[in-house]
Amino acid sequence: MTVARRTLLTGAAATLAGALGGLGGLALPGSARAATAPGVASTAGRTPGGLPTADWMGRLDAGRPLLGLTVPGTHDSCCTDPAHGTEWSHTQNWGVPEQLTQGVRFLDIRCNGLQGTADELGVYHSDAYQYLRLQDVLDQCRSFLAAHRGETIVMRLRNENAGGQALDAAEFRRRVGHYLDDLGYRPLFHLSGWPTLGTARGRIVLVADFANDWGVIQWSSGSNAYFRTQDLWQIDQLFPLPAKGRAITQQFDAAVADPASPQMYVNFLSYAGGYWPKSAAQTLMDQSIYPYLTAHAGRPGRYGIVPMDFPDFHVNVLQMLIDQNFTA
């Protein structure tokens, strides 16, 4: 199995870059670029346990509750081009179709109003348009689910509420309704609480990160009836990544220790707080995440939803998370 660090120099450079970022300097993103996506992605397609990544959910019993799974995901799922913002907002290299093929099943989709339209939503990072419409993402998901009928996708749909295209709560809710009903996407969604895998197959489980009274699953970046989330993305310390790493591993432990919870555990592996996303991800993978997952490989239990930055650089971690669903 390929280890999380590509070379010793790559890990060391990422750590140095992270330290510079924590001191307020502009740490260059070159260290993570050393792990070129083509060389890493070529190992994808099957997990270390031999499971095809495009159809891993289809091998699970239909009666399994979604709450009982480990669901690899991506953070700011559509932020694939630093030209659409900056390198600070660049969190992914794979687009949505490739993410899904490689086994990602949680998407973090953030929207503002689409400029020049009265009813549509565009995908944004804060006020930076990612040159995707919500319907583009939904069509990509629908195409994948039609070709892989045993799979489901959990989608956080967030009102980004930023910049000149910001929408108030009522208008954002109206536009989501336009997608569901006027544009005909309602049958694509599961809209009523945490389902079993069999109920969710072929559909998107909607998680609403916008104000509504629809009775759908409601997002929380902390804790509510539906979620228990670790999303510590900024820490007021000189060297914060060790603290973030501890938060990640503690959330893994908490999820395994609480198998009957009615809440979905969510564990963001991403960190900002003055760091280049690539550098932070590399350091956290090298120093905390990969060592933890390796030490606990084969341990029964689920980790919940695990969103990450740049899974193409960390295919081994993505695939280990998939394999966690098949532990005894």
Is position 3 within any domain? no
Position 3 scores a pLDDT of 38
Question: Which H or E run includes 180?
Answer: none
Neighbours of 106 (CB within 10 A): 24
For 220, the enclosing helix (H) or strand (E) is: none
Task: Work out the pLDDT band at 275, boundaries 50, 70, 90.
Answer: confident
Number of separate domains in the chain = 1
Assess whether pLDDT exceeds 50 at residue 198: yes
In this structure, what CATH number is given to the domain that contains residue 15?
3.20.20.190
For residue 221, give both structure tokens: 């970046």
Give the DSSP per-residue string, 190-215. E-SSS-BHHHHTTSEEEEEES---S-
Report residue 203's pLDDT band, with 50, 70 and 90 as the boundaries.
very high
Contact present, 100 and 55 (Cβ < 8 Å):
no
Instruction: Give me 242's structure tokens.
Output: 């060790």
* Other Cβ atoms closer than 10 A to 115: 11
Query: So what's the pLDDT on residue 328?
Result: 66
* 262 pLDDT above the threshold of 80: yes
Report, as an integer, the average pLDDT of 136-147: 98
Asked whether residue 48 is assigned to any structural domain, the reply reads yes
Structure tokens at 17: 């870059």
Return the pLDDT at 67: 98
- With cut-offs at 50, 70 and 90, classify the pLDDT of residue 83: very high
- Tokens 């694509």 belong to 188
Rounded CA-CA distance 242/218 in Å is 30
Percent of the chain with pLDDT over 70: 86
Locate 244 and state its tokens.
């973030």
- 152 inside domain: yes
Q: Is residue 272 part of a domain?
A: yes
The range of the structural domain enclosing residue 159 comes to: 8-326
The helix or strand, by DSSP H or E, that contains position 138, with its residue range, turns out to be: helix 134-147
- State mean pLDDT over 1-18: 35
Residue found under tokens 């559909």:
203
Interval 157-174 mean pLDDT: 98
Start-to-end C-alpha separation, the chain: 21
Residue range 312-327: mean pLDDT, rounded: 97
Q: How far apart are CA 109 and CA 159, in angstroms?
A: 9
- Residues 133-143 have a mean pLDDT of 98
Question: Domain for residue 203, yes or no?
Answer: yes
pLDDT tens, residue by residue, 206-247: 999 999 999 999 999 999 999 999 999 999 988 999 999 999
Using the predicted structure, report yes or no on whether residue 131 has a pLDDT greater than 50: yes
Does a structural domain hold residue 114? yes
